Structure 1
Amino acid sequence: MKAVVLAGGEGTRLRPLTLTRPKPMLPLGPAPVIEHLIKQLAKCGFDEVILTLGYLSEQVRSYLGDGSKLGVKIHYSVEPEDLLLGTAGSVELVSHLLDKRFLVIQGDTYTEIDLSEAVKVHIKKGADATIVVKSVPNPWLFGVIEYDEKGFITGFREKPKPEECRSNKVSTGIYVLEPEVLDFITQHPCDFAKNVFPKMLASRKRLLAYECEGYWVDVGSREGYIEAQKRILRKHMEETDSSIWMLGEAYIGNGARLEGPLLMGSGVRVEDGATVGPYVCLLSGASISSNSTIVSSTLFEDVRVGSGSRISESIIGEKAIIGEQATVEESIIGQAALLKNGARIRSGCRIWPNVVVEENAEVEGTVLLTHEKPFYFFIDYGRYTGVLASSITSFLEAITVVDSKSLEFHLYRRDFERWIRNVIQAPLLAEEVAALRKQMLRGEELRSGLIRVVKAWFGYVTEEKTSH
């Protein structure tokens, strides 16, 4: 049976982490979100997966390949990033692959539900569409589903007032559908919940609500992501009877306190007197200095935390530096951001990549970059160097210091040309970079060539402006 995974969104609720990697590629434990999801689909008997992608799609495709390593066959549908299709519209694009019953699931889902049971109930009750639902304590934050004693849906209520809730059942965004459901996609953009299912209900089609057993969470927010991370750590501890999940060699200083469940990647350092855990993921290369405390948080690759700092219920992007005596509470810190000594990041903050927070500053809210579309330098798919450019001047500075492998990666993908032409609005420079690309240079020779081309263009436009 086939499953369609909707994974084309930009992940705005997890900004700024999703500025450099798509939401399906964010790490949960030792693997990205999408790997956990596809493994669960395979476990439930789905042997073909159709992934609808858009934003930063190449990172997902590069990681998953044809799916054989995960026991499935993967088809890809890559949507133009500026085209708004909606959930149903995305599925309609792959309708030629959907001639039999199929499953739809959101790409930002972590679940342990036995989805094969939902299919069995769908078939047994002769439903046209089955929506997998869960009971939640706060249904007014979701779309509420109302159904009769046989499980057939009688109505939908989109985010009702608390006193108006007649049900605590909400949609998980997991559907079992007959191919005929696609006939109800008659507008664009088109969503299943907002458009398709109400039309089907009005046409007296059989819509079933299946209340499932098993764990499910939407990882598309900071709260959901941390909840899923806790679940994975707890599950590993229960299955292995080990509270510390080691992915490689790590340094643990004298008097350091590790409280499980927690995960430690290769090359992690926890210095004397630091406290880590419970529910902490330290990815490869992370470093925690003496007397710091990390609780219920995920620190991406190569994060450095100064002495005496405290981080709780937060996500810290790769290569970020947290100074001494700093505090981060219930926030997201962007890639390569720098929080200087004594900085205090209050609950709900988002600090954008490479932003500097000064000493003893107290931050509430969101701190953004001044440029809307900076250029992020990668070494490979999903491997951010911590270097960005927001102007030609900073681009020149960046290509002088960034790893030459990053220059090769972007030049031969034509990333430099597109950014220079579309964002900087410098078509002449873009043409010069394209000509350089055709020379097939590598390493330091490539760096020298890029610097020469940018400096020559910079001198040309500066001279042109002064002559006028």
Structure 2
Amino acid sequence: MADTTTAVVLAGGYATRLWPITRHRPKMLLPLGETTVIDRIYAELEALDRIEEVYVSTNERFAPDFEAHLEDRPYDKPRLSVEETEREDEKLGVVGALAQLIDREGLDDDLLVIAGDNLFNFALEEFFEYFDRREGPAIAAYDVGSRERATSYGVLELDDERVVGFQEKPDEPESSLVSIGCYAFPGEMLSLFDPYLEGGNDPDEPGWFVQWLQDREPTYAYTFDGAWYDIGTRRSYLDAVSWHLDGDSHVAESATVRDGSVGDDVHVMADATLVDADVERSVIFPAAHLGSTTVRDSIVDEEARISGFDLECALIGAHSRIPDDR
């Protein structure tokens, strides 16, 4: 194992399942109370002495958003590595982008790869201790509790702690233990990305690389209990917000709430106005206006205006008018 580790935070996706909320913003910058999804990762990496460099792997469309976000934060380590794509159909894939970054930056330290839309409550320092002890590739794994839920993820089969099988989003999973998108690779194994791709293997999902790798090198799974959320859908994002708020609600001081109610697991941001509105388990972005409405399990983007129309399980884009009275 190397004395230092380079981190790559994967932030190159277009989050189409969360459109229109993420049509013009990266999902990693979605708020969690006073912080964001990716800031939780930045803060932990900043505090780890063994991490010297943090590359934020993103795309041309969202690079300015990440750049502006980092300018307002106290972090010294993160810097952008920009994939030359602007649309979903141009993506190199996660493994392709990683291989390109490794070659471009000349990386040869141990490598931590972590999905920027990950919310988890294990300490990365503990993950590194496991990685060092095993002296081989390690991936973080979580039991999602049901095989039905596991169909959305990469499913692992273990022999003790060693990975002996992998299924990417299978229709009939062998287990409910899934990869969460957090990997550690010894520096001497970074050269394997190129032959993997040259062999015509899938460039997108890193789980396929893990499947290919575990047939060649002993690969281990670090399993943890507690919380994990993959911020990819309305439901998973609201689950993460609920976990972060711990049953409370967060209403910005500049927001106005009159003749209505704000229930549990609600985040109301700056300058939003709620008049005769009952809101539960939802996120209301800045300067949104809700009047004579009930909003449940929904996300309402900035400056949207909802009046006399109830919402449930909805994604409402910025500047929307419901009903449209313009």
Cα distance change, pair 357–74 in 1 and its aligned pair in 2 (3 A): same
- Quote the residue 1:271 is aligned against: 258
Structure label with greater radius of gyration: 1
Q: Secondary structure at the match of 2:303?
A: coil
Amino acid at match of 2:214: L
Q: CA deviation at 1:200?
A: 1.6
- Give distance in 2, aligned partners of 1:201 and 1:56: 33
Spell out, residue by residue over 1:320-360, the C-alpha distance to the aligned partner (whole angstroms, 9 max, x if none).
Answer: 00012x110011001111112xxxxxxxxxxxxxxx389xx
State the alpha-carbon separation in 2 of the partners of residues 202 and 166 from structure 1.
Answer: 18
- What residue is the counterpart of 2:65 in the other structure? 59
For residues 301-380 of structure 1, the aligned pairs below 5 Å read 301-307=286-292, 309-324=293-308, 326-340=309-323, 356=324
Deviation per CA, 1:409-468: give whole Å up to 9, x if none. Answer: xxxxxxxxxxxxxxxxxxxxxxxxxxxxxxxxxxxxxxxxxxxxxxxxxxxxxxxxxxxx
**Within 2, Cα distance between the matches of 1:66 and 1:297?**
26
Moved more, 151-160 or 81-90: 81-90
Counterpart-to-counterpart distance in 2, 1:357 and 1:229:
32
Higher strand share: 2
Question: How many aligned positions are there?
Answer: 307
Matching residue's letter, 2:155: V
Whose helix proportion is higher, 1 or 2?
1
Shift of 1:191: 3.5
Q: Which amino acid aligns with 1:87?
A: V
Number of the residue aligned with 1:148: 159
Residue by residue over 1:180-212, the C-alpha shift from the partner in whole angstroms, topping out at 9 and shown as x without a partner, is 144233427613535422222232x11111102
**Distance (Å, rounded) in 1 between the aligned partners of 2:325 and 2:297:** 20
Distance 1:16 1:87 in 2: 23
Partner of 2:222: 210
Contact in 1 for aligned 2:255/2:271 (Cα 8 Å): yes
> Which one-letter code corresponds to 2:175 in the other structure?
S
Q: TM-score, normalised by structure 1?
A: 0.62
What amino acid is the match of 2:285? Answer: F
Query: 2:6 matched to 1:2?
Result: yes
- Aligned partners of 1:93 and 1:111: how far apart in 2? 27
Structure 1 unaligned runs (5+)? 235-259, 341-355, 359-468
Deviation string 1:357-403 (CA, Å, 9 cap, x unpaired) is: 89xxxxxxxxxxxxxxxxxxxxxxxxxxxxxxxxxxxxxxxxxxxxx
Distance of aligned partners of 1:335 and 1:294 in 2 relative to their CA distance in 1, 3 Å threshold: same
Give the corresponding residue for 2:98. 91
Paired residue for 2:118, among 92, 106, 109? 109
CA RMSD of aligned residues (A): 2.1
1:22 and 2:31 aligned: no
Give the aligned partner of residue 262 of structure 1.
249
The code of the aligned residue for 1:84 comes to: K
Of 162, 169, 173, 1:159 maps to 169
> Which one has more relative contact order, counting CA pairs under 8 Å at least 6 apart?
2
Question: 1:453 matched to which residue of 2?
Answer: none
**SS at 1:123 equivalent:** helix
Identity %: 29
User: Matches of 2:212 and 2:167 in 1, distance apart?
Assistant: 14
Per the alignment, residue 139 of structure 1 pairs with 150
* Aligned 8 A contact 2:99 2:193 in 1: no
TM-score, normalised to structure 2, is: 0.87
Task: Supply the distance in 2 between the matched residues of 1:169 and 1:76 (Cα, whole angstroms).
Answer: 32
1:47 Cα shift? 4.4
Q: In 1, distance between residues paired with 2:205 and 2:194? A: 8
Conserved in 1, the CA contact under 8 Å of 2:138 and 2:183? Answer: yes
Gaps of 5+ in 2: none
**How far off its partner does 1:167 sit?**
2.1
Alpha-carbon contact 1:66-1:75 (below 8 Å) kept: no
Change in CA separation of 1:193 and 1:63 when aligned onto 2, cut-off 3 Å: closer
Following the alignment from structure 2 to structure 1, what is the Cα–Cα distance between the partners of residues 144 and 52? 31
Q: Give a deviation string over 1:101-142, Cα, whole Å, max 9, x none.
A: 121011111222211212211221221x11100001232332
Distance in 1 of aligned mates of 2:120 and 2:52: 17
Deviations 1:146-198 (A, max 9, x none): 0102x111111233344xx4322100010011231442334276135354222
Instruction: For 1:265 and 1:306, locate their aligned partners in 2 and report how far apart those are by CA, in whole Å.
Output: 18
Shift, 1:226, TM fit: 0.5
CA contact (8 A) 1:276 1:295 kept: yes
Q: Residue 230 of structure 1 aligns with which residue?
A: 242
Q: Distance in 1 between matches of 2:72 and 2:205?
A: 28
Aligned partners of 1:40 and 1:111 also within 8 Å: no
Q: Kindly indicate whether the alpha-carbon contact (under 8 Å) linking 2:266 and 2:282 is maintained by their aligned counterparts in 1.
A: yes
Change in 2 beyond 3 A, CA 1:43/1:214: farther
SS at match of 2:22: helix
